[in-house]
Amino acid sequence: MPDLLPADVRHRLKGLTIVARRAIGDRGLGLHSSRARGSGLEFAQYRPYEQGDEPRQIDWKLYGRSDKFFVREAERESPVALWILLDASASMNQADATGRRLDAAKGIAAALVELALAQGDRFALATLRATGLDLIPAAGGARQRDRAHLALHGIDASGRFPADTLLAPIWDRIGARDMVAILSDWFDPACLDLARKLAAAGREVLAIQILTVTERDFALDGGYRFRDPETGEELLGDAAALRAEYLARFGAAQADLAAALVTAGIRYATLVLDQPLDTPLQTLFGRSQR
């Protein structure tokens, strides 16, 4: 399978830490010390021996083969989890010359998985479809990462955003102290309703919006048939004549969304498809946010 993360993005992720807005205790999201060491846990990886590590953690068989000290690292079950909710409604198929919205969402989801894995945190993936949820329950470790990547590669987008009645499994599984990242274009009011309900229930919610360059700039000329991929509604018009009104309405809608998220206590960031894939993660988790 092709890698969902470009090499330059993967490199920049090393400078990021998922940090919860509220304190979580001695373990959990954003705390690198939450990685456990010892036996009885799922093996994660080897790393070079560091001063302060206990000698019993050294893999002596590997030392015999390499003449170097390596420590076996295992994942500890973190008391909190990162839930990645990916909108797979039809509007996520929107694309322009710079790429497709759904592909960018998959890449951001993969980046979040890598960050959680590096920190020893559990993570889960829920794909939001018109027919309901495709769910990978929260777990940790490299095997969970592989499960998430396999699922991401298989996601396609169609239909409407799921009805509230189909989202019950989310409420049954997301813990009271878990963090939830919602990846969407945020055009459907039902997405905002979901985020507000999660935030009101005490979950820490992150909103990541993904926009095409055309949606931001509307740099079109000539006659167009504009079609809503979810409702089928169409509008015929001259792009140049519509540009000023579109940009004004789009700007107002974006301002309303931002105000609603801030009021609900939800951190948010936006990716436009001509920007680096990790742009929203730098906004949310970069050094200036710590």
Residue 28 makes CB contacts below 8 A (sequence gap 6+) with 20, 34, 78, 79, 80, 121, 177
* pLDDT value at 27 more than 50: no
> What distance in Å separates the CA atoms of residue 185 and residue 270, rounded to the nearest whole number?
9
pLDDT for the residue 53: 64
Question: What tokens were used for 171?
Answer: 């409420």
Question: What tokens were used for 22?
Answer: 């509220």
Residues 173-184: pLDDT tens digits? 898 889 999 999
In the chain the domains, ranked by start, together with CATH numbers, are: 7-22+77-289 (3.40.50.410), 37-74 (no CATH)
Residues 214-226: pLDDT tens digits? 999 988 788 777 7
Asked whether 110 and 87 are in contact (CB, 8 A), the reply is no
DSSP per residue, 110-164: HHHHHHHHHHT-EEEEEEEETTEEEEEEEE-SHHHHHHHHHHHHT----SPPPPG
> What distance in Å separates the CA atoms of residue 69 and residue 57, rounded to the nearest whole number?
10
Report residue 66's pLDDT band, with 50, 70 and 90 as the boundaries: confident
DSSP per residue, 204-264: EEEEEEEE-HHHHH----SEEEEE-TTT--EEEEEHHHHHHHHHHHHHHHHHHHHHHHHHT
Asked whether 260 and 191 are in contact (CB, 8 A), the reply is no
Question: What tokens were used for 108?
Answer: 């951001």
> What distance in Å separates the CA atoms of residue 165 and residue 269, rounded to the nearest whole number?
28
Share the mean pLDDT of the chain.
85
Residues 190-212 have a mean pLDDT of: 96
- Top pLDDT among 3 and 26 is at 3
Residues 139-157 have a mean pLDDT of: 95
pLDDT for the residue 270: 98
pLDDT for the residue 26: 43
This model's pTM is above 0.85: no
Report residue 234's pLDDT band, with 50, 70 and 90 as the boundaries: confident
Q: How far is CA 256 from CA 189, 214, 250, 262, 287, in A?
A: 11, 20, 10, 10, 28
Report how far apart the first and last C-alpha atoms of the chain are (Å, whole number).
34
> What distance in Å separates the CA atoms of residue 281 and residue 202, rounded to the nearest whole number?
22
